[in-house]
Amino acid sequence: MTSSIEKYDIVIVGAGPVGLLLSACLARWGYKVKQIDMRPEPTATGRADGIQPRSLDLLRNMGLKRDIMKHDPAKVYEVGFWDPMDGGKGIHRTGTWASCPKFIDARYPFTTLLHQGLIERVFIADLEKNGVQVQRPYRITGFKQDGKDSEYPVEVSISHVNGDESETMRAKYLFSGEGARSFIREQLGVKITHKDPIAHVWGVMDGVVRTDFPDIKMKCTIHSDAGSIMVIPREDHMVRLYIQIASSTDPDWDPRKQATTEEVQEAAKKILKPYYIEWDRVEWFSVYPIGQGIADRYTLDERVFMGGDCCHTHSPKAGQGMNTAFLDAVNLAWKIHHVESGFAERSLLKSYESERKLIAENLLNFDAAYAKLFSSRQISAGEVGHVDKHAASGQQPQEENEFIKMFKASCEFTSGYGVAYNPNLFNWSEEHPAKHDYFLSEPKRTTTQRTGRILTPSTVTRVADANVVHLEQEIPLNGSFRLFVFAGKPSVTRKAITDLASNLRKKSSFYSAYMRKDVDSVSYHERHNPHSHFFTIAIIFNAQRPKIEIGDLLPEILARYNDHVYADDIWDQRVPDAQAAAHAKMGLDQEKGGIVVVRPDGYVGCVVKLAEGSGTVDALNAYFGSFVVKKVGGETAQL
Amino acid sequence: MTSSIEKYDIVIVGAGPVGLLLSACLARWGYKVKQIDMRPEPTATGRADGIQPRSLDLLRNMGLKRDIMKHDPAKVYEVGFWDPMDGGKGIHRTGTWASCPKFIDARYPFTTLLHQGLIERVFIADLEKNGVQVQRPYRITGFKQDGKDSEYPVEVSISHVNGDESETMRAKYLFSGEGARSFIREQLGVKITHKDPIAHVWGVMDGVVRTDFPDIKMKCTIHSDAGSIMVIPREDHMVRLYIQIASSTDPDWDPRKQATTEEVQEAAKKILKPYYIEWDRVEWFSVYPIGQGIADRYTLDERVFMGGDCCHTHSPKAGQGMNTAFLDAVNLAWKIHHVESGFAERSLLKSYESERKLIAENLLNFDAAYAKLFSSRQISAGEVGHVDKHAASGQQPQEENEFIKMFKASCEFTSGYGVAYNPNLFNWSEEHPAKHDYFLSEPKRTTTQRTGRILTPSTVTRVADANVVHLEQEIPLNGSFRLFVFAGKPSVTRKAITDLASNLRKKSSFYSAYMRKDVDSVSYHERHNPHSHFFTIAIIFNAQRPKIEIGDLLPEILARYNDHVYADDIWDQRVPDAQAAAHAKMGLDQEKGGIVVVRPDGYVGCVVKLAEGSGTVDALNAYFGSFVVKKVGGETAQL
């Protein structure tokens, strides 16, 4: 063990979306982070720009949404589909579709469009508050695990891009957020598998335009006899156009095919006819070949990890790249945190790859189908019937072309709410080692919450200050498991709640096992982690707010979560007849309640019955006991 | 006319809420502003802190709400009432009431509590973007109107507070936002009338506390056998306590009576029994005498104006001071703008005093009653019945004490939505000189919109980008009159809309009279004022968004407001059966529509029938013609 060398919890290479979100989480949770980036400055123009509804939830949960929104990004609520008219008369609209339709219960049913550099700067400002400065322009030059320091096993070398200065350090973890051309992935010898053999050359142009094309402020896919184009609105009157320049299916395929700004503008003018389009200015223009690829592994040893574009590349059209990167990062962040905090077994880090690679595979399948449709010449509207009359009436068209069908089917996916992790130790299922009659799951028992999926949003009243709040946002991204105790009717559950508290107090419970060492000196004003960093508790009663006297209804250890006690007394249009809308949305009995355990990243881990006796805590102990380091549950658990 | 002297459109003395909001408006609209303040820095601690629902609307309309909210202010949704229990057993809650109850249609039904200094800094940052820097610490030393320059009639002298440096300048206007001790008011010889002869000495303390008092995060009024106190939550775990230290009704009344921090804390401890309270720290503590007063005049000559605390002082408890100041400022700002732009007759400036002094008088009447109740020992709850059981059930209690009754009656007032300007040239009534059968007013004709009151909020879909938006916020505080054309069903109003456009085009219309001189070179991207700074037009159809083809439905001059065309297709809980909720909320015929004219400060000016022929524009011409400088309407008007 060397002593002069600087040591870090993690070295993060790359300050794009995946690297920045990872470092933002870990820096907040007190880890020592070294982050480098090859570029002298954050992204100046272009690149990714679409924030999904689900990602906006995540950014809000980090307290960063307001900083994103202050830039007045464009918001895409609808997507328009345009196709050629018969007889070469140019294009016409054949339908529109909600970007995030009502069947998805989204808090923010729109895609937010903002230049990647502005998004990066929001993270950079947050990092600086936590003492992390991205070191630029620096590159990684080598890394090895020489067995010299079991606590900090990875030695990492970096140098200034001009080669002048270099540093060597040790770290517990190394992360590659380098993008598609990753030094770390190369060094590890991890291969990229190209799922879809078809590659494309894309042109992308950001600019300020004048046009009479009526949907210029919406996302549109336009197919015409002169080619295809995708329109995406941006902040500051800007519009992004994506245009396909070549495809590996072309007879004269050349992956290095180029196009000038003027050529792309000419093509756009032809495609948009009978509408005109002119450019005030072009902010950014780029032509690049892109193929679909996915890394075979995301880590070899749970010490060196990769994420973001380093692991998956695909076409830019569905706006998935940055969002998938964000979710890679948050998935890894909390798992590292739980292992390093002594909560979870180290082997749980394997679930980063198993969970996130599945999502990337789904993304690539989706993207391949989407891209194929996009680049193929569409049939004319006349051939599929007049779709727009249905769309306009709010009904779904009876006849739709393949593209629209595909688009609708993929809305859940593109919104980010389609992410569904398979059963594993974190995501309970009937096959989970924790066996207890109290686990609730669809369809057998009563809950709408599916493990591995995001918690359904709901609106409640905070008891302490009568504020109307979004329950799913009340516990910030603090690295803790979230126990949402839907406590039903106070008169019905009084004993169940008392029993919950007394069983939590038992020495064998997860509550006692992971009690903070400084529990006696925690600030009076601590809202989220008064007892433990392992979990935060929220309690939601089916009662009117003024009826809830926290001191009367809750035993001391639950009353400590004073700022996380809520009244389920806000009417919700989605469950208009419910007495307690949040209970109803969770699919829980409105009188008896139930406990929804949510992972630190917002996905449901398990749902447990709330009842008198020790069963509720036994089930929770069994769930947590399956992956935590300390033994919990045990003799009192009725397995 | 001197030539070496600096000239300003306005000199504003004082950089508190009234002065800052006034300068923020005028600086945005292109006026040359000189602003000074005696204090070397913005407010550091204490002072006003309550932003009403209506004021939050205004701040959002200025694009400043997000900057306020980023400080995570406390939000007061409910007010708790506490009274003594029988037998000296301390206090208990006798009721709670919504801070801004549901009968008020407010976009933000809560009061926002934030330290005045943070609010001031938001304005100061906004001013700096528009090139205005507050000059500190400077005081006004004199002003005169010597007749030497009719364009800049007021000569103003200022000097550094230490007397070192001084400046003299000329201005079109001088404004005193100096607060209760106003040099300008003294110089003008304007007297303060004390409406309520009773004066009080108040203690106010901001601090971080620990307590088991359950309503510490809500606004509470507490009466106990040991005295009375008011609790107001603040940002950063702070709580403000107001305590009355002396009253001129006391036998030993002394307006200079003092109290120490410890004395106030001891008093609070006694009042809050059986609950405990302890202080982590005290951020600010002040004891000050306050009497009710109102200035006899707000201006003598419509050149030197006063507003805010300079014109009205009262007790701090209802959180009205800063909000009244804000509305003073915006009322004056747009009137100066319209006079200086050549739109309105100079005599219209008189309406600043007539409109705002009435509001201040109402405020003082309210405050006197409120203060009297607050400072009197309350009867015990036993004497009035158990009120809380009704409050908890969501019903209104049958028996209430005077304070609660008073509080409920005043909710509309305290929310800011109770402001109602009397009929005058801006606020149409049957007595208005503009006579036309097309003016709609309650109860005679069909509209819910009352002139002199704020426009009812409504939610609609913007056609151009399908964004769901708050209609009342869509036109920013740009100094323009707002014409909300509720266009009904396109099939029904097609000719009425065509006739509206063709009559607007007529030479005699207000539209033609106040056309921008640079109308041919206005930016393609100008959303709000493509034709005139006098007005902005918004058009709302009773139709589903995808059915609205702007180019087909609107004549060219209306189609130019492309970004202000909306679909009234969002369901609203307040009018659940309406087909077009925004039309319904305005009380307009959902098929035929109508035009709501809103003053630049958000208050309804008049409501006009939308119909075929020239009548609609004739009525608008008659309304605007009553106060604009140029002759509009005339021969075509059917008066």
CATH number for the domain that contains residue A284:
3.30.9.10
Nearest CA in chain B to A524: B210
Nearest CA in chain B to A548: B392
B287-335 residue pLDDT tens: 888 778 899 999 999 999 999 999 998 877 667 889 999 999 999 999 9
Look at residue B47 in the predicted model and tell me its pLDDT. Answer: 75
Within-domain flag for B430: no
Pair A298, A284 in one domain: no
Pair A610, A563 in one domain: yes
| Reported confidence tier of residue A377, pLDDT bands at 50, 70, 90 | very low
Nearest CB to B544; choose among A392, A467, A546: A392
Pair B130, B268 in one domain: no
The per-residue pLDDT of chain A, averaged, comes to 90
Q: Specify the range with the lowest mean pLDDT, choosing from A102-111, A145-154, B96-105, B190-199.
A: B190-199
Look at residue A381 in the predicted model and tell me its pLDDT. Answer: 38
Q: Which residues of B touch A545 (CB under 8 A)?
A: 78
Residues 6+ apart with CB under 8 A from B629: B342, B343, B344, B345
C-beta separation of A193 from A235 below 8 A: no
Closest CA to B183 of B134, B143, B135: B143
Work out the angle at residue B209's Cα, subtended by the Cα atoms of residues B204 and B211, and round it to the nearest 5 degrees.
115
- Chain A: nearest CA to B101, how far in angstroms? 13
Closest CA to B457 of B571, B586, B577: B586
Gap between the Cα atoms of A405 and B307, Å rounded:
61
Percent of chain A with pLDDT over 90: 75
C-beta separation of A584 from A569 below 8 A: no
Helix (H) or strand (E) holding A196: none
Pair A483, A601 in one domain: yes
CATH number of the structural domain spanning residue A167: 3.50.50.60
| Reported confidence tier of residue A380, pLDDT bands at 50, 70, 90 | very low
Main-chain dihedrals φ then ψ at residue B584, nearest 5 degrees? -65, -40
Gap between the Cα atoms of A145 and A153, Å rounded:
6
Helix (H) or strand (E) holding B14: none
Work out the angle at residue B113's Cα, subtended by the Cα atoms of residues B112 and B114, and round it to the nearest 5 degrees.
120
Q: What is the DSSP string of B551-599?
A: HHHS-HHHHTTGGGEEE-----TTSTT-SSHHHHHTT-BTTTBEEEEE-
Mean pLDDT by 10 residues, chain B (639 residues): 80 97 98 97 82 96 96 94 90 90 92 93 97 97 94 97 94 96 96 81 92 95 89 92 85 86 94 95 88 92 96 79 94 98 96 96 82 56 35 45 71 84 96 94 79 96 97 98 98 98 96 96 96 98 96 96 98 96 97 98 97 97 96 61
C-beta separation of B322 from B116 below 8 A: yes
CATH number of the structural domain spanning residue B546: 3.40.30.20
Gap between the Cα atoms of A269 and B149, Å rounded:
58
C-beta separation of B619 from B517 below 8 A: no
Binary contact (B525, A208; C-beta < 8 A):
yes
Pair A490, A601 in one domain: yes
Look at residue A479 in the predicted model and tell me its pLDDT. Answer: 98
Within-domain flag for A123: yes
Pair A273, A336 in one domain: no
C-beta separation of A172 from A9 below 8 A: yes
Residue type present at position B202: W
Q: What is the DSSP string of B143-194?
A: EE--SS-SSS-EEEEEEETTSS-EEEEEEEEEEE---SS-HHHHHHTPPEE-
Look at residue A249 in the predicted model and tell me its pLDDT. Answer: 81
B405-436 residue pLDDT tens: 776 777 888 888 888 899 999 999 999 999 99
Could you identify the residue written with the tokens 């210029």?
A216
Nearest CB to B237; choose among A392, A467, A525: A525
Residues 6+ apart with CB under 8 A from A337: A25, A26, A29, A31, A479, A600
Q: Which of B276, B395, B467, B552 to mutate to test the interface with A (most CBs of A within 10 A)?
A: B467
CA B85 from centre of chain: 39
Model ipTM over 0.95: no
Gap between the Cα atoms of B70 and B67, Å rounded:
5
Pair B125, B267 in one domain: no
The residues on B that touch A, with CB distances below 8 Å, are: 66-67, 69-70, 74-78, 96, 110, 208, 210, 212, 214, 217-218, 233, 237, 280, 388, 391-394, 461, 464-468, 524-525, 544-547, 549-551, 571, 573
Pair B218, B320 in one domain: no
Q: Which residues of B touch A75 (CB under 8 A)?
A: 465, 467
Within-domain flag for A432: no
Gap between the Cα atoms of A638 and B452, Å rounded:
69
- Chain B: nearest CA to A420, how far in angstroms? 28
Gap between the Cα atoms of B205 and B46, Å rounded:
8
| Reported confidence tier of residue A64, pLDDT bands at 50, 70, 90 | very high
**Mean pLDDT over residues A344-352, rounded?**
96
- Chain B: nearest CA to A546, how far in angstroms? 5
Closest CA to B353 of B314, B416, B296: B296
Q: Which residues of A touch B392 (CB under 8 A)?
A: 544, 546-547
Within-domain flag for B10: yes
Within-domain flag for A110: no
Look at residue B396 in the predicted model and tell me its pLDDT. Answer: 45
Pair B180, B212 in one domain: no
Extract the tokens encoding A110.
Answer: 């729109």
Q: How many domains does chain B have?
A: 3
Q: Which residues of B touch A280 (CB under 8 A)?
A: 524
Q: Which residues of B touch A470 (CB under 8 A)?
A: none
* DSSP secondary structure code for residue B250 in this structure: S
* DSSP secondary structure code for residue A565 in this structure: E
Gap between the Cα atoms of A430 and A423, Å rounded:
9
Within-domain flag for A361: no
Could you identify the residue written with the tokens 């009447």?
B365
Count of residues in chain B: 639
Binary contact (A465, B218; C-beta < 8 A):
yes
**Mean pLDDT over residues A295-320, rounded?**
90
Could you identify the residue written with the tokens 């028996």?
B399
Pair A475, A463 in one domain: yes
Pair A171, A46 in one domain: yes
Binary contact (B75, A547; C-beta < 8 A):
no
Work out the angle at residue B458's Cα, subtended by the Cα atoms of residues B454 and B463, and round it to the nearest 5 degrees.
125
Gap between the Cα atoms of A85 and A128, Å rounded:
54
Pair A589, A605 in one domain: yes
| Burial class of A636 by CB neighbour count within 10 A (0 to 12, 13 to 18, 19+) | middle
Taking residue B273's Cβ as centre, other Cβ atoms within 10 Å add up to: 17
* 0.90 exceeded by pTM: yes
Look at residue B445 in the predicted model and tell me its pLDDT. Answer: 67
The residues on A that touch B, with CB distances below 8 Å, are: 66-67, 69-70, 74-78, 96, 110, 208, 210, 212, 214, 217-218, 233, 237, 280, 388, 391-394, 461, 464-468, 524-525, 544-547, 549-551, 571, 573
Within-domain flag for B597: yes
Within-domain flag for A10: yes
Look at residue B511 in the predicted model and tell me its pLDDT. Answer: 97
Domain that holds residue A206: 200-290+377-415
